[in-house]
Structure 1
Amino acid sequence: MDPARGAVTDGATVPREVLIADDHPLYRDALTSAVQGALPGAQVHGADSVPTLLALIEAHPQADLLLLDLHMPGARGFSALAHIRGQYPGLPIVVVSAHEEAAVVRRALAHGASGYLAKSAAGEDIGAAVRAVLAGEVWVPATMTPGQTELKPDEAAVAARIAELTPQQFRVLGMIAEGLLNKQIAYELGVSEATIKAHMTAIMRKLGVSNRTQVALAASQLALDQTPLPLLPDED
């Protein structure tokens, strides 16, 4: 975040730039209104999936803040948070979620979130969170006091490895976790199967695993729930 943004320079205020990632259009619009109410003149850009979000971040590298929903196409639990924190460490992130459990708040902060908002939050709370995080503070509602924030060693290790993936490798990882085959992933991304196989090799190396099922299991370490995943077919 550029400390000069939002400040008055030569009589003009440099507007804040905020990214909002949520796959529900109505809630995304509500967040946009709350942000613009808290930051008059702010430029707000929206995304409805992780692939769209990654492209948005690349298009707006000077963004001041990201409001990130944990449940979106292309992400499983805290995987998007871990990846974006690793790739863009200077971008503050406020997690927005329907989950209000203290354990989930703790995990979000431990993964590097600068704030946590419940989807039931009032507009004034959203504004307070945005202003606090832009001022360099960590913000959670008083009713959601998280206590100690520390990840389990296995989860921390997986998060660190996912942070090392390139944006395209992370897109592929999300599709693997959804059970898509190489040819389906290649079609969705508009590349060849050979390219996807090369990404798979790099993903397995970075995650320290040897097959497709282990890739998905590693990603599941960052899920909000620990629902067992089915075995995935390995491909040549």
Structure 2
Amino acid sequence: MRRRISRRSFIAAVAGGAATGAGSLGLVIGRAQAGQVTDRDPGDPVGRGRGGGTGITDSDSGVGADPAGRGRGGGPRPGATGVTDSDPSDPVGRGRGGSGVTDSDTGPYADPRGRGRGGQRGPSANSPYDPAARDERCENNRRLYAELNRDGSTPESWSEGQLRVAEADLEAIGGAISMQRTNSSGNQQVQDRAWSIIAPIGPRYGFPITRSSDWYRLEGELRRQIYLARTSPVRAERMRQLQNARTNLAALGC
């Protein structure tokens, strides 16, 4: 038997259903909102924040990097790189990357801070090479230096030492000639002294000489040979290589 619905009962039924629906909708929305977080992390999408910590994901990288949502970065700061490396010398967020190690290297070839190569066989204070490579390069440069600095048989192949001796001999010849020229009285002791200076010089440069020889000719010949030594392109290149070997030995600390 159908019951007749009055106006009052109809309104009550509609109002009750609306209330029930609103309650269910609020429960759904509440649950949805409970799972959605929008934090201050610019790396998180809206409503998908990971929360916790500082709510910031910075640009840290490396072994000591900050976890997502827990960055210690922040806005631009003087010296901030956004990198936290494993270098205990670098403040957080100011890492300089590289190997993350600041070792104890010193000298012109020392490792930059944060890029140390460390280790027991690391570079020496005066060399960019490990000990084994450094010893080998030292030996090679010593051998080259000795070869380039050997005495030669011609002015174009004279060593540095031979040229210095020739220049000293030229000065000594001038002194002996001056002694002879001023010995107007013919003092024998002066003549003997002058001859003792000249006698060993002539044969050294392939010039036979006696007491009665023209000593000026010996002086002129030696001057010519010195000129050849100083202007020879072959010798100049040899001296350049010699200087390079000398510089390498000093740089390696050999």
Is the TM-score greater than 0.5? no
Normalised by the length of structure 2, the TM-score is 0.16
Give 1 or 2: higher strand fraction.
Answer: 1
Greater RCO, CA 8 A, separation 6+: 1
Normalised by the length of structure 1, the TM-score is 0.17
